[in-house]
């Protein structure tokens, strides 16, 4: 009888481990796909300091205000997820997810922070390789 209980709990642990591996693989794949899609779709001049753009400038104020609130909430969530993905042992594109979150946030100095993150030579090279793979021009920085 005790042997059956021991086998039952050991099988749950094995299933639990497999479930965690599946969850990690799934979240890694989804994160990688979303980050890649956004980085490929960005205009090449997005990170130029002279590129001035307003979010939903032609929309009614109430829609624009609600969209800005939603965009900032999503940005905060992405920065949090990016920080988690940057921890050792957790698969995912942490720094790129943080970059996407920062790109969605509205705060003073955001453009300077974006530029600083993207101007890291290794990160810029990785992003431009990805963009090249999809026949997109390299990002242009000041």
Q: Where are the domains of the chain?
A: 31-133
Of the candidates 19, 21, 16, the one whose C-alpha atom is nearest the C-alpha of residue 91 is: 21
- Contact assessment for residue 124 and residue 139, using Cβ atoms and an 8 Å cutoff: yes
Q: pLDDT class for 10, splitting at 50, 70, 90?
A: low
Share of the chain above pLDDT 90, in %: 11
Judge whether residue 15 has pLDDT over 80: no
Question: Taking the complete model, does pTM exceed 0.85, yes or no?
Answer: no
Report the alpha-carbon distance of residue 74 to residue 37 in Å, rounded.
17
- Contact assessment for residue 115 and residue 47, using Cβ atoms and an 8 Å cutoff: yes
Torsion 35-41-47-53 (CA) sign = negative
What is the pLDDT averaged over residues 40-60? 76
Looking at per-residue pLDDT, the higher value among 120 and 31 belongs to 120
Looking at per-residue pLDDT, the higher value among 85 and 68 belongs to 68
What is the pLDDT averaged over residues 84-110? 79
What is the pLDDT averaged over residues 54-68? 82
């Amino acid at each position: 009888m005790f042997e059956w209980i021991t086998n039952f709990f050991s099988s749950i642990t094995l299933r639990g481990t497999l479930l965690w591996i599946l969850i990690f693989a799934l979240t890694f794949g989804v994160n990688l796909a979303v980050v890649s899609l956004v980085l490929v779709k960005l205009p090449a001049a997005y990170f130029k300091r002279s590129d001035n753009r307003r979010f939903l400038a032609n929309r009614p104020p109430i829609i624009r205000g609600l969209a800005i609130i939603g965009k900032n909430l999503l940005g905060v969530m992405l920065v949090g997820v990016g920080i988690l993905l940057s921890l050792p042992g957790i698969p995912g594109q942490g720094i790129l997810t943080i970059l996407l979150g920062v790109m969605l946030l509205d705060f003073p100095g955001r453009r300077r922070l974006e530029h600083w993150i993207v101007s890291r030579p290794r990160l810029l090279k990785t992003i431009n390789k990805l963009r090249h793979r999809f026949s997109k021009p390299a990002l242009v920085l000041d």
